[in-house]
Amino acid sequence: MIIELAHYALALAFVLSLLMAVVPMWGAHNGRLSWMALGRPMAVSLCGLMTIALFGLIHAYALSDFSVANVQQNSHTLKPWIYKISGAWGNHEGSMLLWGWMLSAWGFFLATRGLKLPPSLQARVLAVLGLVTTGFLSYILLVSNPFLRLSPSPREGMDLNPVLQDPLLAIHPPVLYAGYVGFSVAFCFAIAALIEKKVDAQWAAQLRPWVLAAWVFMTLGIMLGSAWAYYELGWGGFWFWDPVENASLMPWLAGTALLHSVAALEKRGGLKIWTVFLCILAFSLSLLGTFLVRSGILTSVHSFASDPTRGIFILALLGLTTGGALLLYGLRAPSITIGAGFKPVSRETAILLNNVFIFTFLATVFMGTLYPIFLSALDLGSISVGAPYFTATMTPLLVPFAILMGIGPLLAWRESSFVSMRAKLYLPLALTLALAVVIALLPFGDKLFTVTMFACAGWILSSTLMDMFRKSHRFTRLRSMSPAYYGMIVAHAGFAVLLMGVTAATSWKEEKILWMTQGDETVFAGRIVTFVGLQPDVERNYTVERAILSMQKGDDGEPFFLLPEKRWYPTQERELSETALRADGFGILYAVMGDQDKTNPLRRVMRFYHHPLVLWVLLGALMIATGGLMAMASPSSRKDKA
């Protein structure tokens, strides 16, 4: 019954979204305030209907209602309740419903929190959002409906892929989707601005918090996904340049470029057309990400369903959304006035260069991810592009990017000079060189790579923090710097921390793979590792064999245990390795139990990893997200100019 209600709510939501696409737009076109005002209650009701639909599906999952085909295919009575709930979006249809719900939730916030927007802009933004929602809901209703019934209803479900039964993965998709979908707001703002032919500082000030919100979600979502891959897949890495990971990185990069250019537009009224273009690009890449993951056009560890019909449908949606937006862009962009000018040495130039770099990174990831598809389309055979390509192309670019990142925030808007800045750079430069020497003297790792990357990070960190001390000191009596400024400092410092974490964890990692029989000892990462024994256990929906490994530093060190597991999920007939992790300072000691020797049940393959400073990757990502949040708290600085 609840499923039918949810299905009905979804159908109603479709109709309502169509109305929302038309009525406020028509109102804005003819200057009818009453029609424009309808956008708000429509967006709120749309969110209400979508909530009913999503809740209906979650309810069916919570109660293991196997008369619903989607639940039957992805759930099981014995699954712990949290994975029953997360199972609702751990599959294709459900995840698309979550996507649709997110879209309506952003609409809800636009309608309730966007009260300061000019009525015509808000009406148009909501109408465009309604149009995007219409497209998405038609996709869900036509080819990806999660509410279809099974008759007769089976007694038991087929269970969720055990790799996905993980607490981090229960929250990773909603957070990531909130980010993906959040860029739709920027997209709607861009379309509305193109329709109104009005792109100015005020528009940018109103757009900025939405971009930041989506970007923060996206940052956290990518971080959670990376952490999940790190401990769940057991490959001893946190980023694999897998197509699905790249699919989330691309909109993030576009979003990063966008929030820099939107800041420039808000402060100085420059980079207008470029900002509009980035808005369209960020959301298009979000859609592309969805398309890549859902169409089965790329195969990867993350993708579940692959169905060509769905692929063609999403491609058509992408074509209409992005194609339509770019057509409008082509028609309207020339009539948007050029923004305020700036001198070659200025903050604007730095932001423009930042955008050029990020755009290059983006193009690199784009080509690396999609090159195999393009080759296949042109019948030139198929290949897959791996991590070496990305490392080789991205690393050299990081050096000028880091140099710029250290200097950019020091430059004044509109006009600045290197001469006035030179004095501010001596100390950071000295600190950077000192750090480089220290790193170079360390007796391990790939010297060139490690020293370069640490120098980059040190440069960003020292020049950014120096700038903060100088500015906050200078302005204490006059005015304090805005939260947005401190947000930028925290995010930039976070990037430096992340860079150091990534460098240390890849360059200084230790790795050991060996056969161990119960009682064996080995030395790893300066510790004596003993394979104490195996302990079988039965859990709710799987059986498990746990290896007990003790680790001790020297003879008098405090011993501790690592307990990697091999789990067997009988309903899915799947085996899964569960890694054992232990923090070691900011590093992680990591053990995985591999296959059993067929002749000796007490003999196992064991893999050990030590990743120094890998927690800095996490810390850096958290700092970046925190910086974004702080910037969001900043009141719009351009109200006076509005």
Nearest residue (CB) to another protein, 30 versus 382: 382
The phi and psi torsions of 149 (rounded to 5 degrees) equal -90, 155
Round to whole Å and give the CA distance between 366 and 198: 31
Which residues would be at the binding site for another protein (CB under 8 A)?
277, 280, 284, 291, 295-299, 308, 311-312, 315, 318-319, 322-323, 326-327, 329-331, 333-334, 370, 372-374, 376-378, 381-384, 572-575, 595, 598
Beta bridge partners of residue 590, listed in sequence order: 581, 609
Give the nearest distance from C-beta 327 to another protein in angstroms: 6
Give the nearest distance from C-beta 273 to another protein in angstroms: 8
Nearest residue (CB) to another protein, 380 versus 478: 380
Give the nearest distance from C-beta 297 to another protein in angstroms: 6
The shares of helix, strand and coil residues in the chain, as percent rounded to the nearest 5, are 65, 10, 25
State how far the alpha carbon of 129 is from the alpha carbons of 105, 169, 267, 286, in Å: 11, 28, 27, 15
Would you put residue 281 in left (φ > 0), alpha (ψ -120 to 50) or beta? alpha
Nearest residue (CB) to another protein, 59 versus 294: 294
Round to whole Å and give the CA distance between 385 and 408: 33
State how far the alpha carbon of 97 is from the alpha carbons of 6, 102, 209, 611, 633, in Å: 11, 9, 25, 38, 30
Q: Which helix (H) or strand (E) holds 534?
A: strand 527-538
- DSSP per position, 293-315: HHHSSS--SS-----HHHHHHHH
Nearest residue (CB) to another protein, 139 versus 486: 139
Nearest residue (CB) to another protein, 260 versus 294: 294
Give the nearest distance from C-beta 417 to another protein in angstroms: 32
Q: Which helix (H) or strand (E) holds 512?
A: strand 510-517
Give the nearest distance from C-beta 284 to another protein in angstroms: 8
Give the nearest distance from C-beta 420 to another protein in angstroms: 36
Nearest residue (CB) to another protein, 379 versus 556: 379
The letter for the amino acid at 584 is: D
Nearest residue (CB) to another protein, 153 versus 299: 299
Give the nearest distance from C-beta 590 to another protein in angstroms: 23
Nearest residue (CB) to another protein, 273 versus 421: 273
Residue tagged 């900002």 (tokens): 275
Give the nearest distance from C-beta 415 to another protein in angstroms: 28
Nearest residue (CB) to another protein, 141 versus 333: 333
The phi and psi torsions of 349 (rounded to 5 degrees) equal -60, -40
- As to burial, measured by CB atoms within 10 angstroms (0-12 exposed, 13-18 middle, 19+ buried), residue 529 is buried
CB 390 within 8 Å of CB 242: no
Nearest residue (CB) to another protein, 277 versus 459: 277
Give the nearest distance from C-beta 318 to another protein in angstroms: 7
Give the nearest distance from C-beta 403 to another protein in angstroms: 29
The closest alpha carbon to 480, from 472, 469, 488, belongs to 472
Round to whole Å and give the CA distance between 61 and 154: 14
Nearest residue (CB) to another protein, 70 versus 463: 70
Chain centre distance of CA 215:
8
Nearest residue (CB) to another protein, 172 versus 302: 302
CB 574 within 8 Å of CB 547: no
Round to whole Å and give the CA distance between 160 and 147: 17
Nearest residue (CB) to another protein, 143 versus 563: 143
Nearest residue (CB) to another protein, 326 versus 532: 326
Give the nearest distance from C-beta 560 to another protein in angstroms: 32
DSSP-based three-state secondary structure for 215: helix
Give the nearest distance from C-beta 506 to another protein in angstroms: 24
Give the nearest distance from C-beta 521 to another protein in angstroms: 25
The closest alpha carbon to 372, from 295, 298, 307, 303, belongs to 298
Residue 614 in tokens: 């890998």
The closest alpha carbon to 192, from 311, 388, 1, 329, belongs to 329
Round to whole Å and give the CA distance between 636 and 482: 10
| 129: Cβ contacts below 8 Å, ≥ 6 apart | 20, 43, 103, 106, 107, 110, 184, 185, 188
- As to burial, measured by CB atoms within 10 angstroms (0-12 exposed, 13-18 middle, 19+ buried), residue 158 is middle
Nearest residue (CB) to another protein, 477 versus 598: 598
Round to whole Å and give the CA distance between 387 and 6: 43
The letter for the amino acid at 410 is: L
Give the nearest distance from C-beta 291 to another protein in angstroms: 8
